[in-house]
Amino acid sequence: METRTLPANPDALTEAAQLLHQGKLVAFPTETVYGLGGLAENLEAVRAIFSAKGRPSTDPLILHLSQPDLSLASADGWVASPLPEAALRLAKVFWPGPLTLILRRGPKVHPEITAGLDTVAVRCPAHPAAQELLQKVGVPLAAPSANRFGRISPTDAEAVRQELNGIIPLILDGGPCALGLESTVVNLVGRSPEILRPGAVTQAQLAKELGQQLVSRQASLKKHEVQPAPGQLVSHYAPQTPLYLCEAPIKNLSPGAFHIFFRKSHQPTGGKSFLLGAEGNLDSAARELYRALRKADSSGAKKILIEPVPEGAWAEAIRDRLGRASSGTAHWDGGAWKFFPKEKP
């Protein structure tokens, strides 16, 4: 199959909508990462998503909605009624945007989308191309990230091509993703709201809107275990090159390694390295993280070393992704680097 990449202009979006209605898959941009979309009402398209990614059936998909009004999704049978007041409040404030809500699934949602659970993950993306595509299609798209399962999420069209060339017919190029990390996932089914995956919408923002603190519960599951939401596996977002989290700022380069820094003042001359944006700026660090990991992966380095994540609004999300992507930790003992494998859950 030939995979074409087209700018996300009106003609390409119309073609993409036609392909989706034919049961095909299309990669499209969102503000977080690129998604691999198929019609949520077409079971064969849903199955094709799992096949294209090599994704286990235990990992549920996110439904992308065209409208931020959750009551419409409920009326159409995608989420169950009655809707929690917290869901209506968060959707009103943060949609369109990088927030995914876990709700009771409606009668239209096939169990294969949700890994057999009675809950469904839904969000309304903010990227204008995603919004226009969803409007043209007229029904929700089931859409995980547009990469092979467990690998680095794509934040531009070229990264999607590297992952899925020859597997899907079309990639819509909407430019680099504005945020660069997957959406915050909040579970609203249960006694109290809980964060299952950190992202751009922070715990403090959520607590302010809901008037209560949220528990943060990021699981570390194995592939055969059913996940309550995407992004819960112990190993995920991973480069093929072993990635090690340094326990202190990198002051000594490791021979043959690729080094990733958060601060220019820490970045030595020489060696293979990548600076994640401005001095300690976690907005740019989040946006550039997956690009840095892809560059490191293609550099020929034997290891990737990344220094500790500074404090900031994005810190929890970046630490979550790096923790899942890592092979272990690294420590400079005064004379050489020591590497320690990640503990198994």
What does the pLDDT look like over 5-43, one tens digit per residue?
A: 999 999 999 999 999 999 999 999 999 999 999 999 999
In the chain, % of residues over pLDDT 70? 98
Q: Any idea where the domains of the chain sit in the sequence?
A: 4-216, 243-341
pLDDT for 345: 60
Name the average pLDDT for the chain: 94
Instruction: Give the mean model confidence (pLDDT) for residues 98-113.
Output: 97
Among 140, 61, 155, 69, smallest CA distance to 108 is for: 140
- Is residue 60 pLDDT above 80, yes or no? yes
Q: Which residues are CB-neighbours of 49 under 8 A, at least 6 positions away?
A: 25, 36, 38, 55, 61, 142, 143, 144
Looking at per-residue pLDDT, the higher value among 208 and 279 belongs to: 208
User: Which of 182-186, 201-205, 250-254 has the least mean pLDDT?
Assistant: 250-254
Note whether 67 and 166 are within 8 A (CB). Answer: no
Tokens 């204008």 sit at which residue? 128
**Hey, what CATH topology would domain 4-216 get?**
DHBP synthase (3.90.870)
pLDDT for 124: 98
The strand pairing partners of 102, in sequence order, are: 121, 187
pLDDT for 279: 67
Instruction: Give the mean model confidence (pLDDT) for residues 242-267.
Output: 91
pLDDT for 301: 97
CA distances from 127 to 30, 66, 178, 281 (A): 5, 11, 9, 23
pLDDT for 237: 86
The strand pairing partners of 116, in sequence order, are: none
Confidence of residue 229 (pLDDT cuts 50, 70, 90): confident
What does the pLDDT look like over 136-160, one tens digit per residue?
A: 999 999 999 999 999 999 999 999 9
CATH of domain 243-341: 3.40.50.11030
The strand pairing partners of 171, in sequence order, are: 5, 27
Instruction: Give the mean model confidence (pLDDT) for residues 86-109.
Output: 98
